Amino acid sequence: MLLHLAAEFDLQRDVGPWLAERGWAAALDTSENSSALHVVNVERNGKIIYTWKGNQRETHIGLYDLQTKENEHLYMFERDLRIISCSVNSERTLLAVSFRQYTEEERVSRLLQSVSKYLTLLIEIHPINNVRVLKAVDSCVRVQFLYPVEGRNTSTESRLLLVSEDKYIEQFDICVAVEEHKVVIQNSGQLPRARVADDLIWAQWDMTEQRLFYIVPKESRCTLKCVQFYPDGSFNSILESHLDISVTDTRVKLVNFGYDDCQDQDVTSTSLNLRVFTSKAGGLCVCCSLASDIPDVIIYSIYFLHKGYSKTFTVSLERTASHQLKEVAFLNLDYYVAAYLPGQFLHLLNIQHPDLLCYSLFLTGEDARIDTLQNGSIQSPLMSTILDGCIGRIYAVSISDSALLEFLQKSKRDSERLAALHCALLCVRSTADLEMKIICWISENLSTCHSFDPIQEFIVASLYSRMCSETHNLDKLLPYTSLLDWIGVIPGAVCTTDIISLPVLEFQNSKGFWEKLNSNLESVKYAEPHLHYHSNVLRREWQNLSEEQKEERRTTTYLRNIFENAKKVLSHLDTWDSEERLVPLFQEEDYQQQLLMGLMVAQLKDHLMRHLQYVGKKKIDQIVLDYVANLLNLVHRIMKEVWKRYRLHSCIFCFDERGSAAEFAVFHIMSRILEATNGMCMPLPPGFHTLHLGLGVRCLPLHTLLHYIDNGVLHLTETCVRKLLKDLDDTEKNEKLKFSIVTRLPEALGQKVRQFWNHPINANLIARKYVKLLLEKLGSRQCSRPISERRPVPVEFLPLNYLTNMLAEIENQGVHPYEKQDHVNVRFVEEAALKHTMMLLGLKYS
């Protein structure tokens, strides 16, 4: 199962034994009344309020503390009552209870028409003293104490929200005093109250952040509003957003205001099934399931208010059993919201990046099954928490990394693979073990993913996950994917996207969620797609500087700073231990890769400075160095896992043997790593090209090797070529290989390594290049004076005599292209040409 549920609270497990010890066995007998023991509320500080029936059918209220694992008896009514709502203040001195006194039939039979159907009480419980009536009405009322600050000291004030089905919400201010070790309500008359909201048809309480979301119908659409409550007792309306949702049922629907065991029995197909979810990164989503006129079709919409658009999904059910189907349950998983229909589907939608459907997991059949949940009341009172009201359990919800990996391995569609890969890297916060398994999966599926490069996605998503948790707004500036768009579909679900108006925020000096949400909205307003770092400019600059350096046109302060950046990155890397030395990387200088490293540091730093000035230059420098160093670490991590998997030795630079099948497999993976990093213009660890070329020499036939070199797949490095020329003997086959390599060397590199091959072919090649360069330098210049006298040539070979005389004349005119190589001169060319001529004629030269 993809979602892992751990039961943090279970009525039968955590409360049942405690009740049995105290002789309340009737509470455990559910045969007569299924509501004998059930949860009625979950408070902010992790305390769970529950109710049960005693041996004489009296009604008890208890409290369980998740942290101390202890139960506490709060209050008892001597009558058999149905508790509607209950809340206790943080000091556990006051208890608010709403209950139904009589059913309509009981009132008629007892001639109690003048007696209110529902009663709401405020009770002093430390110790038990007075009872005050807050409401005596015929409409249902919910109560909820505010918890402004977690862990605050004992306060003399408490505030209570009272939510009425008559479509209004009030806040009561309650002052208490300590008298002779008794906590009593101080207000002598009517309790002060303030109206919080009016004319609402839906409301949801956010216990963690002390926020009230509610909806007011306005003509053809609804308006979502939010009231924020503060520690000092004040509150204000902070958000307003228009939603294109039509409401046919105007009864009040309440979410997270306690959990009445019978509240879901009256749910109809026209009731408003809606939830508001927030994320730590400033995401705000409205999830709503809509009534469908088509049988066996479920429609639900997700309004991504922080992005400015909504997505509506139409799902055709494969098999239906109408007696089992309930509402779509919406769950808050922080990085994802989940739409769950038991027995049908589980849809995880990425909150941070909802634009591309390939980042959402849509599961059906066995993949969507969640065994421990019943088909009844499923609610999400807190982030990553599920309350199953039918059996009285509270679960901590997490995405199972093992199930996610299993799903990744068996998936046949690119959309599923990509969604699972991103979920593992961004949401699960992958461990070293999970990362290793993902790398193994990537190495096995390089050719099965057609619409994305798994290596690119692994590198980019891993970097994004590691870096963005450190600094606010960094997630808007760093790339999270290598994809620019996605044209695929999700089988089983049809999606339509609509632009919606951005919500209006009114707040001052508010930190935390509201500040992050406002930042997200500002990004949408001001061209969010242009904020993410892109490598286009980096690629052009790298190519330009590489060409200039080949021609040795400049060595500027700018270039010195670039290479200084690269040195900082390399010194920033962790010290490799003996196991990590298994792969021979980071053991040589690589000019091209250091140039790219330094350029990436410079350009990424400029990009962040434009948008994160308030962070400070020192912090940005650290972020950039971490980013590039982590990039190199990730490539090295891939190489290390591949090296270990194929059991390669630490050194593969032995060219007198052919490569094994394992080496060829690693060579192929390295080629794909090179392709992936080239596609994103990302640097590679120094030594990567040397290692790649060494494997290529061992594994590829000569014509394929040369083809890879000519097409830029393999890069000739000084370390590898020098070892190749020194270690291989001069058999005919090896001469051909060496000659083919030497003729392809760039001029600067060729001058460094040709001296390591003491062979007439190499001498001839050097002579040819020398003559060619002399003649190019000469150009159209004509020799104006007669050929100078020279000592006689040892062999009467007129073309050679003429050539050497002409070269001597050029040298006399001051053209010395090989001044730095004293062994290359006219005499050397003469000797090389003579040797080559004698070889061609099959004569022995001495």
The tens digit of pLDDT for each residue in 99-131 reads 988 665 665 566 566 678 899 999 999 888 889
- The reported pLDDT for the residue numbered 291 is 76
| C-alpha–C-alpha distance, residues 479 and 627, integer Å | 11
Q: Three-state DSSP class for 671?
A: helix
Predicted local distance difference test score (pLDDT) of residue 745: 79
Cα-Cα-Cα-Cα dihedral sign, residues 566, 567, 572, 576: positive
| 779-799 mean pLDDT | 48
Residue scoring higher pLDDT (294 or 816)? 294
Give me the pLDDT at residue 353, please: 87
pLDDT in tens, 298-349: 999 999 999 999 999 999 887 665 545 568 999 999 889 999 998 889 999 9
- Looking at residue 468, what is its pLDDT? 84
pLDDT value for 805: 66
The arithmetic mean of pLDDT across residues 626-644, rounded, is 92
pLDDT in the model for residue 555: 60
β-pair type (345-350, 361-364): antiparallel
- The single-letter code of the amino acid at 58 is E
Give 737's pLDDT tier (boundaries 50, 70, 90): confident
Question: How many angstroms from the chain centroid is the CA of residue 155?
Answer: 41
- Tell me the average pLDDT across 600-614: 90
Q: Which of 149-163, 297-311, 439-453, 751-765 has the lowest mean pLDDT?
A: 751-765
> Which pLDDT value is given to residue 226?
97
Residue 806: C-alpha distances to residues 574, 778, 810 (Å): 59, 11, 6
Q: Cβ atoms within 10 A of the Cβ of 783, count?
A: 13
Q: What pLDDT sits at residue 826?
A: 56
Lowest mean pLDDT among 1-5, 489-493, 516-520: 489-493
pLDDT value at position 375? Answer: 58
- Would you give the DSSP letter of residue 13? I
- What's the token pair of residue 221? 């659409």
CB-based contacts of 166, cutoff 8 Å, min separation 6: 137, 139
Confidence of residue 529 (pLDDT cuts 50, 70, 90): low
Backbone dihedral angles phi then psi of residue 747, each to the nearest 5 degrees: -60, -45
Tell me the per-residue pLDDT of 270-286, one tens digit each, with 9 for 90 and over.
568 999 999 998 999 99
When pLDDT is cut at 50, 70 and 90, the band that residue 743 belongs to is confident
Task: Give the amino acid at 682.
Answer: M
Does residue 815 carry a pLDDT above 80? no
Q: Chain-wide mean pLDDT for the chain?
A: 82
Instruction: Determine how many CB atoms are found less than 10 A away from the CB of residue 125.
Output: 18
What phi and psi, each to the nearest 5 degrees, are found at residue 595? -60, -45
What is the mean pLDDT of the segment spanning 707-719?
91
Share of the chain above pLDDT 90, in %: 42
Q: Within 13 Å and on the Cβ side, how many CA atoms surround 65?
A: 10
Lowest mean pLDDT among 33-42, 83-92, 395-404, 656-665: 33-42
Predicted structure pTM score: 0.84
Residue 784 pLDDT grade (very low, low, confident, very high; cuts 50, 70, 90): very low
* Of 720, 757, 718, 712, nearest in space to 739 by CA: 757
